[in-house]
Amino acid sequence: MVAQKAGVSVATTSRLLNHKTSGVPVTEATRQRVILAAKELNYVPNTSAQILRRQATDTIAVFRRGLVEALTSHQSFATSVLAGITKAIGQSEYHLLVQDERDFGATANPLSRGRCDGLILVSPCVDDPLLESLAAQDRPVIALWNRHVPAPMGFVNADQIETGRLAVQYLYGLGHRRIAHMTGPSCFSCALDREEGYRRGMAEHGLAVESGWVFHGNHNMELGKAALHHFLSLANRPTAVFLAGDGAAAGMILAAREAGLRVPGELSVIGSDGIDDPRSEMLHLTSVCQSVERSAALSVTELIKQIRGQSISRCEISLPVTILERGTCGPISS
C-alpha cells in the first residue's frame, strides 16, 4: 500500500522503510514521498520479515558472461580485467567471487543465490537478456565494458566512440585518406561504438566510407589475416586500417608481411586496447590504449559506493583513451 501511494516500486519502498542504504541510487524527493505515504497510512514495520532479510556477505561477485569463447584469443584482455578488479578488492574489506556461465548455466541470475552484496557484470553483448533482469532487481550492479545497459544499472567503460574517432584522426594526420575498419563481434557494445566512432571520424574529415572498407569480424588473428586479403582485393584499396582489437591487428600485420607489404609504408595498422601483450610489443603495434586495468578497478570502487548507499546518481563513466605509438603507423611512402 505504501509503495502504491508513493508511486514507487515495492523494492525501493521496502529498502527505504527498512533503512537499507545499498542498491540503486534514490533521490531525496523519492525518499520523502515514501516517508510521507508511510506516515499517512500509519505504517508499522514487520520485524519478523526484517529478520529474514538477506544478511550482508561482504562479498563482491564478478560474473563473466558471453566471454568464455570470445576471450580465448584475447587472454591478455581478460587477465588485465581480473588484475584491476583483484587489486581494487584487495584494498577493500570485501572478498571476491569470480563466476561465469559454466558455474550456473546460460540462463543463470548470479544475484539469485544471495552469495554477494553486489555484482560486476562483464558481459559485452548489448542483447544479453540478463541485463534487463538485473536492472529490475534493485540491487547494486555495475556493467563493465558495456554502456548499452538499461537504467538504473550503471556502467564503467572506456570511451569507445572516441576510440574510433581518435584512430581516424591519427591516421588522417599521417596523410592517409583511404582508411578502412575491421569491426569486433556485431553484438559487442565496444564494437558498435568503435565503428560509430570510425564513421564519425571519417565524416569529420570529409572522407567517404567506400564500399568494402568495413569488414565485420572479431578479435582473433585469423580473421585479421582474412580482412587483410579482403582489403587487398579491392580496386580502391585502403592505405590504413583501424581494427577493433589488437589480436586481429596482429594477424593483419603478419599477413601483410607474408604478402610482401611494408608495415608501415605501404600499409598502416592501428589496433584497439593497448594492453601490455608480448605479441603486440614484438610487432611494435600502434594501438588506442583503453586503460583496461583502471576501468576494472574503478568498477569495484563504484560498486562499493552503491553497496554503502553513497551513490546519488546512476554511474555512467567513460574513461578517456590515448594513442599508444609503437611502430605500425606512418606516412604513405612513394
Same domain for 255 and 265, yes or no, is yes
Same domain for 175 and 281, yes or no, is yes
pLDDT in tens, 251-309: 999 999 999 999 999 999 999 988 767 677 788 999 999 888 999 999 999 999 999 88
Q: What is the CATH number of the domain that holds 19?
A: 1.10.260
Same domain for 150 and 166, yes or no, is no
pLDDT over 90 (residue 23): no
> Average pLDDT over the chain, rounded to whole?
84
Report how many domains make up the chain. Answer: 3
Contacts 24+ apart (CB under 8 A), 260-264: 262/333, 263/328, 264/327, 264/328, 264/329, 264/330, 264/331, 264/333
Same domain for 136 and 196, yes or no, is no
pLDDT in tens, 54-87: 467 889 999 887 554 444 445 677 788 889 999 9
Residue 326 in domain: no
Residue 264 in domain: yes
**Residue 259 · residue 232 · CB < 8 Å:** yes
Residue 323 in domain: no
Q: What is the CATH number of the domain that holds 151?
A: 3.40.50.2300
Residue 325 in domain: no
Same domain for 280 and 295, yes or no, is no
Strands 268-273 and 214-215, how do they pair?
A: unpaired
Same domain for 167 and 286, yes or no, is yes
How confident is the model over 169-198, as a mean pLDDT? 95
How confident is the model over 49-57, as a mean pLDDT? 54
Q: Which residue has the cell 531525496?
A: 28
Residue 333 in domain: no
Same domain for 173 and 272, yes or no, is yes
CA dihedral over 303, 309, 314, 320, signed as positive or negative: negative
Same domain for 64 and 142, yes or no, is yes
Where in the sequence is the domain holding 181, given as residue range(s)?
160-290
pLDDT at 48: 38
Same domain for 245 and 272, yes or no, is yes
Strands 322-324 and 286-289, how do they pair?
A: antiparallel
pLDDT at 73: 46
Residue 128 in domain: yes
pLDDT over 60 (residue 51): no
Residue 87 grid cell? 587489486
Residue 129 in domain: yes
Same domain for 247 and 276, yes or no, is yes
pLDDT at 20: 55
Residue 112 in domain: yes
The sheet carrying 322-324 orders its strands as: 214-215, 179-182, 240-243, 268-273, 286-289, 322-324
Same domain for 78 and 197, yes or no, is no
Higher local confidence (pLDDT), 41 or 151: 151
Same domain for 146 and 257, yes or no, is no
Higher local confidence (pLDDT), 251 or 110: 251
